[in-house]
Structure formats: structure tokens, C-alpha cells
Copies of this chain bind each other. A is one copy, B any other.
Amino acid sequence: MTAETTPQKGFRSRCSIARTLDILGDRWTLLIVRDLMWHGKHTFGALQDSEERVPTNILANRLKLLEAHGLLARIPYQSRPVRHRYELTEFGRSLEPVLLKLMEWGHERLGGGAFDPVTRTSWNADADATG
């Protein structure tokens, strides 16, 4: 995909880093992606139950934002009352290398835990800590 074929609308600049941060540049969005990607959390309740305790209004807002950008699909799994499960799209799953790089830096430089998505094991973290 080139800049020529992509709408410029809504992005601050042509800079790829600025565009990425236009969508993902906040304290919470990538943690929600983390939980969807690696930790089997696919309902609003499960996503709320992260170690970081995402506020309800922020979680609702970020799920809408991720869906609006095509990173997330909302799939009804029950009709009365309607309930949805949230799944990353292929586009959303393409963020895995970004998550891994942020994790690597936080592990090496900030003493945070590490999580291996292949073996599903964690180091230097509480048993239930998440990457």
C-alpha cells in the first residue's frame, strides 16, 4: 500500500510513526490489543478484568475505535439479550510485531515481565502477569 492509494484524511502527517500513533497512541489501546491477541479475552467483562483495570468508559471507547479502524470485529454470540465477542481481524493481528517490540523494550529497560506467545510462558513477572 502506498501513500498515493491511501486516503490522507484524518492523519496528522505523512509520517508513518505519527499515523500509527494517531490510532494507537495512548496508554490503553495496545493493552486491549494485547489481551485480545494473547490472553484469550474476548468479552467486555474479560477485557475489563485486566491487571491494569481499564476504566469502563475507556474500554468501550477503544473497542469502538479499534472496530472503526478495522482492527477489531464484533461478533454476536447470543441474541436475547444481544452479546458480542471481540476478535482481532487480520489487520489487528498484524500488530503482533509492534506489541513484541514494545514488550522487548519494557522488559530490557523497565524491568517488566516478558511473555512468549509461542510457548505462552512468562518471565520476571507474577504468575498471572501478562507480557
Interface on A for B, CB 8 Å cutoff? Answer: 1-6, 11-23, 25-28, 30-31, 34, 51-52, 91, 94-95, 97-99, 101-114, 124-126, 129-131
Contact = CB atoms under 8 A, between A and B. Distances in A.
Contacts of A15: 31, 34, 51-52, 106, 112-113, 125, 129-131
B91 A109 contact: yes
21 contacts: A1-B108, A4-B111, A11-B112, A14-B113, A14-B126, A15-B112, A16-B102, A16-B103, A16-B113, A18-B112, A19-B106, A19-B110, A19-B112, A20-B102, A20-B110, A21-B27, A21-B28, A21-B102, A25-B25, A94-B109, A97-B104
Contacts of A4: 111, 124
A130 to B, nearest CB: 5
Contacts of A25: 25-28, 30
